[in-house]
Chain A
Amino acid sequence: MRTFDSAAGRLIAAALPLLLAGLAAGCARSKAPDRAVIQNTGSDTLVNLAQAWAEEYAQVNPAVSVEVSGGGTGTGVAALINGTVDIANCSRKLEPQEVEKAKQHTGRTPREYLVGYDALAVYVHKSNPLEEITLAQLGEIYAEGGKTTRWSQLGVKPPGGSDEIIRISRQSNSGTYYYFREAVLGHGRDFKLGSRDMHGSKDVVELVSHTPGAIGYSGMGYAAPGVKALRVARKAGEKAYAPTMESALDGTYPIARPLFLYTLGEPAGAIRQYLDWIYSGHGQKVVADNGYVPLPKTGASR
C-alpha cells in the first residue's frame, strides 16, 4: 500500500501543471484566421459609447469584431499595464507613473487618442426644488472636512421629509471619481467618507432616482426620467450652466472632461482602421447620438 502514496504524490505533481496548462489553453482565444478581434475594455462612462461604436462598426466592417467590456477606467488601465487589451477606454488622462508602468511591463508606450467630451452632470431627485449649485457648494458636500450635510444648509426645503443629504459617489478607482475629485474638490483633496459608492455610471443615476434626498454625479448621457441635472456655476454669483453639448464644448459648463482611448504602441491593421473610423463623421455621429460631445471638427486633433 505504501507504493500508492508515493505514486499518488507523483501523479498529483504531474497532473496539476497539466491541468493548469489545459485551463490556460482553454482561456486563450482560438483565433479564427478570417476574423480579427479587438479587445476593448475600461471606463464605465465610455462603455455605452464603446458598445455603440462596436455595433455600428460590425456593419461597416463585418470582418472585425470588437469585444467591449466596462468595469471602470481603473480596469482599462490595469489591463493596458498588463498588456491584455488592445484599446483601453479612459475617462481621464493616464497618470505619468501609469505610462511608466505600462512601458516597463509591455515595452510599448501607451498612445493617447482624444475621441470626445463628456459633461459630468450633478443629479438630484426630480422632486428636489434645488436648481443650481456652485463648485464650492459641491466641495462642501463631498470633500473631506466639508460642512454641508443637510439640504436646509443649501436653502432648499428637504424633499420627501428628510433633511439629510445622501451623498452618492463612485468606487475609488473610477475615472469619474478621479475627475470629480480633481475638478470639484480641488487638487490633493479627498472625498468625505460615508458616501454610498456605486459601481457604475448608471447605478448612480438609478439610486438617485429612487432616493428623494440623494445627490450624485455621473455622465450627462446617463440622464433618466426620475432625476434632474443641476445647473452648475464656477463661483457664487456667476451664471450657472446646464450640462449640454454646447456648454461642454465652449467651456462654460465647469465640469466637462475629455474622453480618451489608449493603445499600446503605434496601432496597426484592424485596430488602426477602427480608430480611423471612430474619427470619421460616422464614428463621431455615434458619439453625439449617445449623449456625449463629439470633437469640434471631425478628423481634427489627433
Chain B
Amino acid sequence: MAIGTIAARGSSRLRAGLEAAIEFLIRICGISAIVFVFGIFFFVFREGSELLFRGLNLKEFLFSPEWYPTSQSNVRYGVLALIAGTASVTALAMAIAVPFGLGAAVYISEFCGPRLKESLKVVIELLAAIPSVVWGFVGLTVMNPLIMRIFSVPIGLNVLNGGIIVALMSVPIILSIAEDALKAVPDSYREAALALGVTRWQLVYRVLLPAAKSGLLAAALLGVGRAVGETMAVLMATGHSVTIPGSLMDSVRTLTATIAAELGEAPVRSDHYQVLFVIGILLFSITFVVNLTADLIVRGIRNK
C-alpha cells in the first residue's frame, strides 16, 4: 500500500502511523453507536424476557387499565392506562409543537433579518438547554395554579399541563431540524419561483414546504420520539395518576414516569422489577416503529 512506498523517510512514517491511529479511533467511534444500541437492547430484553416468556398475561398487560404491581391479594400488571397517558400527552404536545416549531422554522429561515435570526437561534438553543427537571418544576409551580384558576378545575396537574410542557421542550428540536431542512432547499428554487412573480407566502407554501417535505416530517417524528421518551417533566406535571383520560383536565401517568417512579424500589429480579423492563421493551418498540415509519416515509418521498 501507499504506506510502504513512503516508509523510507522517518517523519512521513510517523505521520502515516499517526494517521492510521486516528483513523482507527474514528472507526471505533463510529462502531460504538451500534455496540451501545445493541447492548442496551440486549440488557433491557434480558431483564424483562424471563417474565415475558414465563407467562406474563400479554392480553392483560396490554388491554387492562389496572396497574396494581404491589397488591397483597391480587397483583395486576395492566398498562393500558399508562399507554393512554403517554399517547395523550404526546398527541397534545405534538398538536402544539409541530405547527409552532414548523412555523418558527419558516419564519427564521425565510422571513426574518440576519441579526434577529442570530439572536433568535441563540435563545432557542437556550430553550433546548433547560433541564427536564426544571421544566417539571415549572409545570408544578407555575402551570398548576394557572390551570386551576383559568379553567376552575380542582387540580392543574393533568394532560394539558404535561402536554404544554413537553411541547415547549420539543419545539427547539423540531425547529432546528426543520430549519436545516428548509436551508437545504437549493436557492435556485427560490430564485425561479420569485422570477415567476410569486408572493413570499406562495413561495413557502407551494415551493419550499413540498421541497423540504421529508426533512420536515423527520423533524416532527423526532419530536414525537422526544415526547414519548420524556420522563422527569411529565412525572411532575401530569399528576402521576393511573387513569384513562377522558378530557384534557384529567391527571394521567405515562409509561416512562412509571419506570422512573418504581424501578428504584422494586427488588432486583422480582416480577415487579421485570414487568418494568417489559414496559421498557414496549417503549423501545414504540420508538423503533416511529423511527422506522419515519425512515420509510422519507425514503418513499425521495424515490418519487
Asked if A74 is an interface residue, CB under 8 A from chain B, the answer is: yes
Q: In chain A, what residue has the closest Cβ to B23?
A: A4
CB <8 Å contact, B261 and A197:
yes
Interface residues of B in 37-91 (CB under 8 A from A): 65-74, 81
CB <8 Å contact, B267 and A211:
no
Contact A210/B152 with A75-B265, A172-B262, A193-B242 known, Cβ cut-off 8 Å: no
Asked if A130 is an interface residue, CB under 8 A from chain B, the answer is: no
Q: Once the chains are docked, how many angstroms separate the CA of A162 from the CA of B155?
A: 10
Q: B240 to chain A: which residues have CB within 8 Å?
A: 171, 196-199
Asked if A214 is an interface residue, CB under 8 A from chain B, the answer is: yes
Asked if B264 is an interface residue, CB under 8 A from chain A, the answer is: yes
Asked if B251 is an interface residue, CB under 8 A from chain A, the answer is: yes
CB <8 Å contact, A171 and B31:
no
Contact A211/B154 with A12-B35, A194-B243 known, Cβ cut-off 8 Å: yes
CB contact between B70 and one of A71, A173, A188, A210 (< 8 Å): that residue: A173
Q: Once the chains are docked, how many angstroms separate the CA of A4 from the CA of B24?
A: 7
Q: Once the chains are docked, how many angstroms separate the CA of A181 from the CA of B69?
A: 14
Asked if B215 is an interface residue, CB under 8 A from chain A, the answer is: no
Asked if B296 is an interface residue, CB under 8 A from chain A, the answer is: no
CB <8 Å contact, B265 and A71:
yes
CB <8 Å contact, B241 and A195:
yes
Contact A4/B27 with A78-B265, A78-B266 known, Cβ cut-off 8 Å: yes
CB <8 Å contact, A161 and B152:
yes
CB contact between A190 and one of B35, B68, B253 (< 8 Å): that residue: B68
Q: A198 to chain B: which residues have CB within 8 Å?
A: 240
Number of interface residues of B (CB under 8 A): 42
CB contact between A11 and one of B28, B69, B262 (< 8 Å): that residue: B28
Asked if A8 is an interface residue, CB under 8 A from chain B, the answer is: yes
CB <8 Å contact, B155 and A72:
no
Contact A72/B265 with A8-B27, A194-B241 known, Cβ cut-off 8 Å: yes
Asked if A212 is an interface residue, CB under 8 A from chain B, the answer is: yes
CB <8 Å contact, A214 and B155:
yes
Of B31, B152, B153, B261, most A-chain CB atoms within 10 Å: B261
Interface residues of A in 22-57 (CB under 8 A from B): none
Q: In chain B, what residue has the closest Cβ to A74?
A: B265
Asked if A268 is an interface residue, CB under 8 A from chain B, the answer is: no
CB <8 Å contact, A166 and B27:
no
Asked if A112 is an interface residue, CB under 8 A from chain B, the answer is: no
Asked if B225 is an interface residue, CB under 8 A from chain A, the answer is: no
CB <8 Å contact, B268 and A12:
no
Interface residues of A in 191-235 (CB under 8 A from B): 193-199, 207, 210-214
Q: Once the chains are docked, how many angstroms separate the CA of A57 from the CA of B231?
A: 37
CB contact between A193 and one of B81, B262, B265 (< 8 Å): that residue: B81
CB contact between B268 and one of A78, A193, A207, A210 (< 8 Å): that residue: A78
Asked if A81 is an interface residue, CB under 8 A from chain B, the answer is: yes
Q: In chain B, what residue has the closest Cβ to A172?
A: B70
Q: In chain A, what residue has the closest Cβ to B243?
A: A194
Q: Once the chains are docked, how many angstroms separate the CA of A75 from the CA of B261?
A: 11
User: What is the distance, in angstroms, from A191's C-beta to the closest C-beta of chain B?
Assistant: 8
User: What is the distance, in angstroms, from A97's C-beta to the closest C-beta of chain B?
Assistant: 10
Asked if B144 is an interface residue, CB under 8 A from chain A, the answer is: yes
Asked if A7 is an interface residue, CB under 8 A from chain B, the answer is: yes
Q: A196 to chain B: which residues have CB within 8 Å?
A: 155, 157, 239-241, 251
User: What is the distance, in angstroms, from A196's C-beta to the closest C-beta of chain B?
Assistant: 5
Contact A172/B69 with A12-B35, A210-B144 known, Cβ cut-off 8 Å: yes
CB <8 Å contact, B267 and A101:
yes
Q: A195 to chain B: which residues have CB within 8 Å?
A: 241
Q: A107 to chain B: which residues have CB within 8 Å?
A: none
Q: B242 to chain A: which residues have CB within 8 Å?
A: 193-194, 197
CB <8 Å contact, A190 and B27:
no
CB <8 Å contact, A171 and B24:
no
Asked if A289 is an interface residue, CB under 8 A from chain B, the answer is: no
Known: A75-B265, A210-B144, A214-B155. 15 other contacts (CB 8 A): A4-B27, A12-B28, A12-B31, A75-B264, A77-B265, A98-B267, A171-B262, A172-B70, A173-B262, A193-B81, A193-B241, A197-B261, A199-B240, A212-B154, A214-B154
Chain B residues with CB under 8 Å of chain A are: 23-24, 27-28, 31-32, 35, 65-74, 81, 144-145, 148, 152-155, 157, 235, 239-243, 251, 253, 261-262, 264-268, 272
Lowest 5 A-B CB distances belong to which pairs? A74-B265, A173-B265, A213-B154, A162-B154, A188-B73
Chain A residues with CB under 8 Å of chain B are: 4, 7-8, 11-12, 16, 71-75, 77-78, 81-82, 98, 101, 160-162, 164, 166, 171-174, 177-178, 181, 187-190, 193-199, 207, 210-214
Jot down 16 A-B pairs with beta carbons below 8 A, ordered by A: A12-B32, A72-B264, A74-B266, A74-B267, A75-B265, A78-B268, A82-B267, A82-B268, A161-B152, A162-B153, A164-B154, A173-B70, A178-B70, A190-B68, A197-B242, A199-B261
